[in-house]
Each structure stands twice: as C-alpha cells, then as structure tokens.
Structure 1
Amino acid sequence: MADQSPAPLATPTDLNRNDTGSVADALNVVLADCFALYLKTKNFHWHVSGPHFRDYHLLFDAQATQILQITDAVGERVRKISQTTLRSIGDVARRQNIRDNDRDFVPPAEMLAELRDDNLKLVETIRVARERAEAANDTATSSIADDWIDQAEERAWFLFEASRGA
C-alpha cells in the first residue's frame, strides 16, 4: 500500500528556507499574541460596565475586529514563505507573551490600561518579527509589519486617551 502522506511544504519562494524558519517562528509569536489580545479585547467588550459603557463597548469591539483581521494576514504570510503556522489553542498558549485575564470583574480603567500595555507589547513582538524579516531579506513581511505596528500603536493611543478621564 502506497504512503498517502502529503508532500512536504514546498511553497515557491526565492527566500532561504532556514532564514524564513526564523521569520516564521517570530510571526507565530505575533499570531499567538494577536489571538490572545483579540480574546482579551472581546472579553472586556462583553464585560465592561459603568458610565462610559457604550463608548468602551464600541471601542473594544472595533479594536477586536481590527486585531482579528490581522491574524489572517499573519498566518497567510507564514504560509507564503513556505512555513507552517499555529494549529491549536494549546499552540497559542505555548507561544503567547500577552497574559490572559480571567478575573470575574475588571474595572473599566484597568481594562483600558491593560489593553494599552498589551498593544504596546504586541508592537515589541512585531518589531522582532520585522527585524528577522529584514535579516532574511523578506521585504514583504517587513513592509506589512510596519502596518501592523502602526495599527497597534493607534489602538494604544486611543486606549490611553480614553483612560485619561476614566
């Protein structure tokens, strides 16, 4: 009986496979952090309360949507450079830098501060991936990483400004 296993991943790329392995490792951490940040942002969206409920509820929802959109781009970028990406919640948990928040109640001001700090942590993670991409001559990853950094910095800024009166 012939082996029915699929052929090894051989996505066409002119990039060095060893170099793209390092890029993919960093991008998979970015992806894990995006999933962790997405879920935390949705958690806070669902559980926010208080006098600014509507504003924070809408802000968290918009930010969660933006973060979720990034996940697909990150995962697809890993595949475009002929590497593999995350496969499970366990894989996310093993790689994420952003800590979960399982508390029953988080005051809105703490939600804003925690999400702001987490977005800035995500910026650091993306910068590592961008540096690895530049070292691998992967200009496409490097370029798109700039957009992800800008988006995370904007989210952090909005959260900072919203927290000034919280």
Structure 2
Amino acid sequence: MGDNTKKALVDGLNGLLADHLALYLKTKNFHWHVKGREFRDLHLLFDEQATEIFGNVDIIAERVRKNGADTLTSIGSVAAKTKVADEDDSNLGAMQMVEQLRDDNATLVKSLKAVKELAGEAGDNATDGLIDDWTDQAEERVWFLSSILA
C-alpha cells in the first residue's frame, strides 16, 4: 500500500465524517422545525434518521485514527469538507425538507461508494466492510424519503 492510497482513503473518510456531521445537524434542524399535517410522522422519522447518522460518526473518526491520521477538528473543518449544503430557513415546507434530505442522502451514497473503492485500493478491509453497512443505511433513508414524495 502506497502513501498516496492511504492519504486518499483518509481524505475520503474525513469527507464522510464531515458529511455525516453536517447531515446529522441538518436532519435534527428539520426534526426541530417541521410543521404541518405530517408533523408527527416526519418529526419522528427525522429523529430516527439523525440518530442513525450520528451513530456512524465515531466509527468513521476512529477509522481515520486507525489509519494513522488526524480527524476533522472544528466546525470550520467540517464546513470545508462536506458536500451537504447548509439550510438556515426554519420555515421550509415539510416536503421541501424531505426532498433536501433525500438528495443529501443520495449524494452520501455516492460518496460512500467512492470511499469503498479507496479502501479497497488501500487494502483496508475493515473500512471496506463497514462502508457496506453505512451504504445500506443511507440507501434505506433515500428509499423512505423518496416513498414519502411518491
């Protein structure tokens, strides 16, 4: 395993860490601010999904550390690495929230698949295997959110 493959993997893992942290906060934001007839169902769904997302944060960070590198260290470092767009509007419609979370989770699935390739190239079997579970979780969130919009 060359240094470049390990560096690429660590960079990808830190990107996943940033995406998970940003998506967690966005999902909790929507959990706190959802309104309308769908309030109860979406309030509970968003909380479930946020909990699942946050559950991966420490595992991802520890994979970075086990690869001998540093993790993200601040809100600024998360903001610099994430692909999840901020959403500061607390008055979005419920279906707008669902659409954004569906799209953000779909983007996360693509990132997970890209990092899985990097893990394979770096010979990191542990990360490779964990990513399968994280991908399944994100795909399920996309499915649930897409079904709401159908």
Q: TM-score, normalised by structure 1?
A: 0.87
In 1: Cα distance, 2:149 partner to 2:34 partner: 14
- Which of 109, 113, 116 in structure 2 is aligned with 1:123? 109
In 2: Cα distance, 1:104 partner to 1:75 partner: 30
Q: Deviations over 1:12-53 (max 9, x none)?
A: xxx654432211100000110111100100000000011111
Please name the residue that 2:5 is paired with.
19
1:66 matched to 2:66? The reply is no
Q: Within 5 A, what are the aligned runs for 1:1-166?
A: 16-164=2-150
In 1: Cα distance, 2:122 partner to 2:69 partner: 14
Q: 1:38–1:68: 8 Å Cα contact kept in structure 2? A: yes
Aligned length: 150
Moved over 3 A (4+): 15-18
Q: How big is the shift at 1:139? A: 1.2
Q: Deviations over 1:33-76 (max 9, x none)?
A: 11110010000000001111100000000000000011111001
Q: How big is the shift at 1:163? A: 2.3
Q: Give RMSD over aligned pairs.
A: 1.1
- SS of the equivalent of 2:35 reads coil
Q: TM-score, normalised by structure 2?
A: 0.96
Which structure dedicates a bigger proportion of its chain to helix? 2
In 2: Cα distance, 1:43 partner to 1:68 partner: 14
In 2: Cα distance, 1:42 partner to 1:111 partner: 11
Note the residue ranges of structure 2 that are not aligned, 5 or more in a row: none
In 2: Cα distance, 1:104 partner to 1:43 partner: 8
In 2: Cα distance, 1:104 partner to 1:52 partner: 16
Between Structure 1 and Structure 2, whose CA radius of gyration is higher? 1
* Paired-residue identity, %: 49
